[in-house]
């Protein structure tokens, strides 16, 4: 039942949150114009580089550690302590370095914007994910978006400036963080530890997942970068039309992944029980979801593009059909990644993420130069396909060390028996 509640909250509430965001975007872009909104985006990107280490794969690391039944206070206090130290050093670097390459106005705006470093620290989504309370994360996002939208339609309309939007963004992230940290500190206390030795130990454990998360971001964005560099803005628009539909579908997969993540991690880590049937069942849930979404996207690609974007984006149809292959493969990629995470093979996850980034870079440069905008549609399916092979290679290595057979995970009979047990309950 918790899985269904988590999945429904992730799919339903998050969809509404994104819709609220889309409603405010036209008003913001029209009010600021290309220059103003471009300045806001530019500052946001610069800030993300200065805050590179503050949010450093702690979602996966924190969830995994909490599923090992370590003390909640201990894990969360360690992560927050490390983030506070990281934010302190990041802020010092920002104050010094940004002073030399930004003009005074942008420098001041960036310093104000950097207050989001604080809100990132207390956004403990990993705690609720590990506790099978994913709806807390969804509600916090919804609350942040709702406050943001209300402020946009009142404060921003009255004073449509970049600094106003920056302050509203800080309020949004602050509300999101408060909805997450307040329920936690009401029940438990934080025991912060600023010892460099202890925090370096935590960073040493988590850095591989951090690098992996950053590599995944490059995998998705490098294609767009190549389109703008080698072709033109029109090609970027054609690709983005299909990519936005793909991201909507991917939200469903991510919702299922987050809902099943704690269950899979606990089943793998429980050495006292034979939970292979439960893991097999989870595998076939991922597989089935991929098949349904893939067929839907492929069959209705023409209708979706025409209804949402019009005939000018007709070239997007083929790209969207290519993405239907990606959406079939992504649940498998996510499942294998969770299995590797459950066995604490952070180095394997790092290699998987870096491999996908390398595949994305090589395929983007090659296929876009040869086939133009249509070539961009082939990149993500091929990246997903190749990355799954890398995952399988590492899972085979894990199976030998952990003494289980890979075919047990893929056993349909085990999955079917587990499904019957669930219905009996």
Task: Annotate 110-170 with DSSP letters as a single string.
Answer: HHHHTTHHHHHHT--HHHHHHTT-HHHHHHHHHHHHHHHHHHIIIIIHHS--HHHHHHHHH
Total domains in the chain come to 2
For residue 27, the tally of other CB atoms under 10 A from its CB is 15
Q: What is the pLDDT of residue 2?
A: 52
Which of 165, 194, 223 corresponds to the end of one domain? 194
Alpha carbon of residue 37 to chain centroid: 24
Looking at the fold, whether 265 and 338 belong to one and the same domain comes out as yes
Is residue 395 pLDDT above 70, yes or no?
yes
Q: What is the pLDDT of residue 257?
A: 76
Q: What single-letter DSSP state applies at residue 274?
A: -
Looking at the fold, whether 59 and 131 belong to one and the same domain comes out as yes
Convert the pLDDT of each residue in 1-15 to its tens digit.
455 555 555 555 566
Two tokens at 310?
């019009």
Looking at the fold, whether 271 and 330 belong to one and the same domain comes out as yes
Is residue 321 pLDDT above 90, yes or no?
yes
Domain carrying residue 242 = 205-424
- Segment 272-298 mean pLDDT: 81
Is 55 within a domain? yes
Looking at the fold, whether 41 and 169 belong to one and the same domain comes out as yes
Reported as a pLDDT band with limits 50, 70 and 90, residue 309 is low
Q: What is the pLDDT of residue 66?
A: 76
Q: What is the pLDDT of residue 154?
A: 92
Q: What is the pLDDT of residue 252?
A: 77
Is residue 35 pLDDT above 70, yes or no?
no
Is 124 within a domain? yes
For residue 150, the tally of other CB atoms under 10 A from its CB is 14
Q: What is the mean pLDDT of the chain?
A: 79
Q: What is the pLDDT of residue 16?
A: 64
Is residue 263 pLDDT above 80, yes or no?
no
Looking at the fold, whether 313 and 230 belong to one and the same domain comes out as yes
Q: Using alpha carbons, select from 255, 268, 395, 344 the residue that is nearest to residue 65.
A: 344
Looking at the fold, whether 224 and 141 belong to one and the same domain comes out as no
Lowest mean pLDDT among 103-112, 198-207, 373-382: 198-207
Q: How far is CA 297 from CA 6, 25, 85, 141, 165, in A?
A: 24, 26, 45, 27, 35
- Segment 223-244 mean pLDDT: 69
Is 33 within a domain? yes
Is 200 within a domain? no
Looking at the fold, whether 182 and 52 belong to one and the same domain comes out as yes
Looking at the fold, whether 213 and 147 belong to one and the same domain comes out as no
**Is pLDDT larger for residue 6 or for residue 21?**
21
Looking at the fold, whether 165 and 304 belong to one and the same domain comes out as no
Q: What single-letter DSSP state applies at residue 56?
A: S
Is residue 382 pLDDT above 90, yes or no?
yes
Is 388 within a domain? yes
Q: What single-letter DSSP state applies at residue 23?
A: H
Is residue 357 pLDDT above 70, yes or no?
yes
Is 272 within a domain? yes
Looking at the fold, whether 86 and 62 belong to one and the same domain comes out as yes
Is 199 within a domain? no
Show the CA angle centred on residue 175, arms to residues 172 and 179, nearest 5°: 145
Is 232 within a domain? yes
Looking at the fold, whether 151 and 219 belong to one and the same domain comes out as no
Q: Compute, in degrees rounded to 10, the torsion defined by CA atoms 56, 59, 63, 66.
A: 50
Question: Hey, is 209 helix, strand or coil?
Answer: helix
Highest mean predicted confidence (pLDDT) among 107-111, 183-187, 203-207 = 107-111
Q: How far is CA 240 from CA 17, 243, 294, 314, 381, in A?
A: 20, 5, 18, 13, 16
Residue 88 burial (C-beta neighbours within 10 Å; 0-12, 13-18, 19+): exposed
Which of 194, 218, 239 corresponds to the end of one domain? 194
CA distance 377 to 409: 31
Contact at 8 Å (CB) between 53 and 210?
Answer: yes
Q: Which residues contact 304 (CB under 8 A, 6 or more apart)?
A: 245, 297, 320
Which of 142, 175, 194 corresponds to the end of one domain? 194
Two tokens at 113?
């914007």
Looking at the fold, whether 214 and 129 belong to one and the same domain comes out as no
């Amino acid at each position: 039942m918790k899985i269904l509640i988590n999945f429904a909250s992730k799919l339903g509430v998050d969809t509404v949150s994104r819709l609220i965001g889309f409603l405010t975007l036209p008003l913001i872009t029209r009010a600021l114009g290309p220059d103003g909104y471009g300045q806001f985006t530019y500052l946001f990107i610069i800030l993300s580089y200065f805050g590179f280490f503050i949010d450093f794969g702690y979602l996966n690391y924190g969830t995994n550690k909490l599923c090992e039944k370590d003390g909640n206070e201990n894990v969360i206090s360690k992560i927050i302590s490390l983030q506070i130290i990281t934010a302190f050093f990041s802020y010092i670097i920002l104050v010094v370095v940004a002073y030399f390459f930004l003009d005074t106005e942008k420098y001041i705006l960036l310093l104000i914007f950097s207050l989001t470093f604080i809100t990132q620290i207390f956004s403990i989504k990993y705690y609720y994910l590990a506790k099978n309370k994913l709806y807390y994360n969804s509600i916090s996002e919804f609350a942040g978006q709702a406050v943001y939208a209300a402020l946009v339609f009142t404060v921003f309309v009255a004073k449509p400036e970049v600094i106003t939007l920056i302050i509203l963004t800080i309020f949004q992230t602050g509300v999101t963080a408060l909805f997450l940290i307040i329920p936690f500190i009401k029940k438990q206390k934080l025991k912060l530890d600023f010892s460099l030795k202890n925090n370096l130990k935590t960073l040493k454990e988590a850095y591989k997942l951090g690098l992996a998360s950053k590599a995944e971001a490059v995998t998705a964005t490098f294609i767009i970068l190549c389109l703008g560099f080698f072709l033109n803005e029109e090609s970027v628009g054609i690709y983005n039309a299909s990519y936005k539909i793909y991201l909507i579908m991917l939200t469903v997969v991510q919702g299922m992944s987050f809902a099943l993540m704690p269950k899979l991690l606990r089943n793998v880590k429980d050495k006292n029980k034979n939970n292979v049937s439960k893991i097999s069942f989870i595998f076939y849930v991922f597989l089935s979801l991929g098949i349904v979404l893939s067929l839907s996207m492929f069959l209705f690609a023409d209708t979706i593009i025409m209804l949402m974007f019009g005939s000018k984006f007709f070239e997007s149809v083929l790209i969207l059909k290519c993405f239907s292959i990606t959406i079939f493969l992504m649940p498998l990629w996510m499942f294998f990644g969770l299995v590797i995470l459950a066995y604490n093979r952070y180095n394997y996850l790092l290699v998987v993420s870096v491999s996908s980034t390398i595949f994305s870079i090589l395929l983007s440069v090659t296929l876009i130069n040869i086939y133009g905008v249509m070539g961009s549609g082939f990149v993500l399916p091929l990246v997903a396909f190749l990355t799954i092979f890398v995952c399988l290679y590492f899972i085979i290595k894990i199976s030998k060390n952990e003494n289980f057979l890979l075919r047990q995970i893929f056993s349909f009979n085990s999955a079917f028996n587990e499904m019957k047990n669930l219905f009996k309950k």
